[in-house]
Chain A
Amino acid sequence: MFKKTKTSFKIGGSVGIIILLLGVTVMFGMYQTSKVSNEIIKISEEYVPLYEIVSEIKFQKSIQKLSLEKIIRFSETSSDIELEKTKKEFWITGRNIDSFIERSKNIVDVGMDLTNSEITKKEFEILAQKLSNIDRTHNQYEKLVTDLFYELDNFLLLEQIQTTENQIEIEIESTLSSLSGLTEESTNLIEDNERNSLYGQIVIIIIVGAIASTLGFFISQINSDLKKEVDLKTFELKTANEKLKELDKRKDEFIGIASHELKSPIQPILGFAELARAGDIDQKEAWDGVLELANKLQDLANVVLDVSKIESNRLELQIEKIPINDLILEIIKSLKINLKKPVIIKENLDENIIVEVDWIRIGQVFRNLINNAIKFTPKGTITIETHVYSDENKIQFRISDTGLGISKDVLPRIFEKFVTKGLKHEERSGTGLGLFLCKGIIEAHGGKISAQNNFDGGATFEFTIPILNKEQIQRPPELSTK
Chain B
Amino acid sequence: MNVLVAEDNLFTIQQYKHILEKKGCKVTIAHDGEVCIQKFDDAFMKLDPTSLESGPFDVVLIDNNMPKKNGVEVAREILKRSPKQRIIFASAYNIDSILNASEEVMRDVEILQKPFSLNTMIAKIQTRK
Q: Does A274 contact B (CB under 8 A)?
A: yes
**Binary interface profile of B, 71-97, with partner A (CB < 8 Å = 1, else 0)?**
000000000000000000000110000
In the assembled complex, the Cα of A423 lies from the Cα of B67 at a distance in Å of 7
- Which residues of B have CB within 8 Å of A293? 11
A260-B92, A426-B67 known; A270+B18 contact, CB < 8 A? no
- Check B12–A428 contact: CB distance below 8 A: no
The B interface is mostly helix, strand or loop, or mixed, namely loop
Using known A-B contacts A426-B67, A428-B8, determine if residue A263 contacts B115 with beta carbons closer than 8 Å. Answer: yes
A227 to B12, CA, bound (A): 63
By secondary structure, the A interface counts as helix
Are B68 and A424 within 8 A (Cβ)? yes
Does B127 have its Cβ within 8 Å of any Cβ on chain A? no
Chain A residue nearest to B97 (CB atoms) is A256
Q: Cβ of A274 and Cβ of B115 under 8 Å apart?
A: no
Contact call A428/B117, Cβ cutoff below 8 A: no
A422 at the B interface (CB under 8 A): yes
With an 8 A cutoff between CB atoms, is A275 at the interface?
A: yes
Question: Which B residues are in CB contact (< 8 Å) with A260?
Answer: 65, 92-93
Q: A263-B115, A267-B92, A267-B114 are in contact. Are A422 and B19 (CB under 8 A)?
A: no
A422 and B67 contact, Cβ closer than 8 Å, known pairs A267-B12, A268-B11, A272-B15: yes
- What residues on A are CB-neighbors of B116 within 8 Å? 267, 270
How far does the alpha carbon of A424 sit from the alpha carbon of B114 in the complex, in Å?
25
Interface residues of B in 4-58 (CB under 8 A from A): 8-9, 11-12, 15-16, 18-19, 22, 32
Which residues of chain B have C-beta atoms less than 8 A from A280's C-beta? 18-19, 22
Complex Cα–Cα for A192 and B43 (A): 120
Q: Are A264 and B117 in contact (CB under 8 A)?
A: no
Residues of A close to B117: CB separation below 8 A = 270, 274
B7 smallest CB distance to A (angstroms): 9
Could you say which of B15, B19, B65 has the most chain A C-beta atoms within 10 Å of its C-beta? B15
Q: Is B118 interfacial (CB-CB < 8 Å)? A: yes
Q: Which residue of A lies closest to B92 (CB)?
A: A263
User: Are A272 and B115 CB-contacts (below 8 A) given A260-B93, A280-B22, A427-B67?
Assistant: no
Q: Say yes or no for A271: interface residue by CB 8 A criterion.
A: yes
Q: Contact: B93 with A268, CB < 8 Å?
A: no
Q: Which residue of B lies closest to A266 (CB)?
A: B115
- Bound complex: CA A338 to CA B11 (Å): 21
Nearest CB in chain B to that of A289: its residue: B11
- Within the complex, which residue of B16, B68, B115, B118 is in contact with A422, where a contact is CB–CB below 8 Å? B68
- B119 CB-CB contact with A under 8 Å: yes
What residues of B have a CB within 8 angstroms of the CB of A281 in the complex? Answer: 18
- Taking CB atoms, residues of chain A closer than 8 Å to B119 are 274
Contacts of B65 in A (CB 8 A): 260, 264
Closest chain-A Cβ to B121's Cβ sits at a distance in Å of: 9
- Complex CA gap A263/B32 in Å reads 19
Which A residues lie within 8 Å of B67 (CB)? 422-424, 426-428
Query: Which residue on B lies nearest to A290, using beta carbons?
Result: B11
Interface residues of A in 275-322 (CB under 8 A from B): 275, 280-281, 289, 292-293
Chain A residue nearest to B33 in the complex (CB)? A422
In the complex, are the beta carbons of A270 and B115 less than 8 A apart?
A: yes
Q: Which residue of B lies closest to A267 (CB)?
A: B115
Known contacts: A263-B92, A268-B9, A424-B68. The answer to whether A275 contacts B15 by CB under 8 A is: yes
Residues of chain B contacted by A423 (CB below 8 angstroms): 67
Task: Give, as a whole number of angstroms, the nearest-CB distance from B92 to chain A.
Answer: 5
Give per-residue flags for A421-439: 1 if the beta carbon is below 8 A from chain B beta carbons, else 0: 0111011100000000000
Set A271, A292, A422, A424: member contacting B12, Cβ < 8 A:
A271
A-B contact pairs, 6 of them (CB 8 A): A263-B115, A264-B114, A268-B11, A271-B118, A280-B18, A426-B67
Q: Nearest 3 pairs between A and B by C-beta?
A: A271-B15, A268-B11, A266-B115
Known contacts A268-B15, A427-B67, then 19 further A-B pairs from the complex at CB < 8 Å, ordered by chain A residue: A260-B65, A264-B65, A264-B114, A266-B114, A266-B115, A267-B114, A268-B9, A270-B115, A270-B116, A271-B11, A271-B15, A271-B118, A274-B15, A274-B119, A275-B15, A280-B19, A422-B68, A423-B67, A428-B9
